[in-house]
Amino acid sequence: MAIQSLIIHHIERWQEEQPATLKLREQAHLVSADYEALFSQLKKVFQFKAGKLFGRFEDNYSDFPFSAWLNDQQAGRSGFESLIQRYMEQLKNLVDKTSESFEAYVVAVLEDRADGPRLYLFMLDTQSAVRLDHELNLEPVDTLNTGKLEYALRIELNELESGEEDSPYLCLIRSRGRAKLGEAFTQSVGFKNSVDTQQETEALMEILANYTQRAEPKEAAAVRQKAYDFCVEQQQLGEAVPLNELSGYLDENQPTRFAEFAEQEAHIDSKRELRPDTRKLKHLVRLSGKGNGLSLSFSSDLIQQTILFDEKSDTLTITSIPKTLKKQIMDHLKEQQDAG
């Protein structure tokens, strides 16, 4: 990891009827170990965040000018500071059209990598904390909330420059909360979703279910677990899931078996890359649910083994209760008997 440029700006609005105010830094920060540590933390949170969206820039430059500004910066016609300052002004204009009250710091990072440069935009909230001053008195202080990332964007600059039509060179994090602010952030960069992660997740789960249908329960569970582990690892690396690589990971002796099955049964090209949502993909290896005062979570390979399901009577029978749960049940029943 090598930070080529990094700059932090501030935007806030405390009253709905008032426009947002910007505090802009003129020059990029002189990168030190502190800034490297900050970026490393933000990048890690970004990589591990599930539910990311993948897409491309909107084609309408007049309504979504950020991509044109980025082209100018990449071509050397403008600098990094100018690009991010123009972006902040665009973000302010869009935020002013909403009724959101907020305070945020925008951290922009241009990263130089062996695999190609990336541009990150992180919008960070603050959180209150206290510290001890020189007189050992408590002093309130606001800190960057680096553990909670609600809005962020990653741009694969090499893929953007290549001009490949199907390449989703944008990766977006957008929280479900504060929807208007999220929409303003999305529009400020001109993000257009080009990958249906829900559809790709369902497609992969269906292929795996059919692929393991005739296998022994333990073997099927092992295959599903390996598939889930591979997809999680790819997500943490910020990469898609190539079907041919997943196929080789599932069966080293027959590395093309799963890919050929997907191509024959689901008509999915074995060279295709999928971007599944690992939160939903977890159902491959673990089943869970809650309601009516009950919460259950267990490994999927226990179904019809130690956990029996009867669809007609709508019941689950647990034949091997965990020791800690059994002790709690016995203690609770004893307390009820003693109370009675």
Q: What does the alpha-carbon distance between residue 160 and residue 167 come to, in Å, rounded to a whole number?
A: 8
pLDDT of amino acid 20: 93
Mean pLDDT of the chain: 89
Please check the confidence at residue 123 and state whether its pLDDT lies above 80. yes
Confidence of residue 340 (pLDDT cuts 50, 70, 90): low
Q: Which residue has the higher pLDDT, 192 or 196?
A: 192
Angle between helix 243-250 and helix 217-237 axes, rounded to 10 deg:
140
Average of per-residue pLDDT across 56-70: 93
Contact 16, 34 (CB under 8 A): no
The string of DSSP letters for 62-80 reads TT-THHHHHHHHHTTSS-H
pTM score, two decimals?
0.78
What residues does 154 pair with on adjacent strands?
A: 120, 171
Q: Which residues contact 87 (CB under 8 A, 6 or more apart)?
A: 66, 69, 108, 121, 188, 189
Helix (H, G, I), strand (E, B) or coil at 241: strand
Is the dihedral angle over the CA atoms 13, 139, 133, 145 positive or is it negative? negative
Tell how far CA 52 is from the center of its chain.
Answer: 4
Q: What is the pLDDT of residues 272-313, one digit of tens each?
A: 888 888 888 888 888 788 887 888 887 777 777 788 888 888
Contact 182, 189 (CB under 8 A): no
pLDDT of amino acid 77: 95
Residue where the block lists tokens 């159902």: 283
Q: What percent of the chain has pLDDT over 90?
A: 44
Average of per-residue pLDDT across 253-280: 88
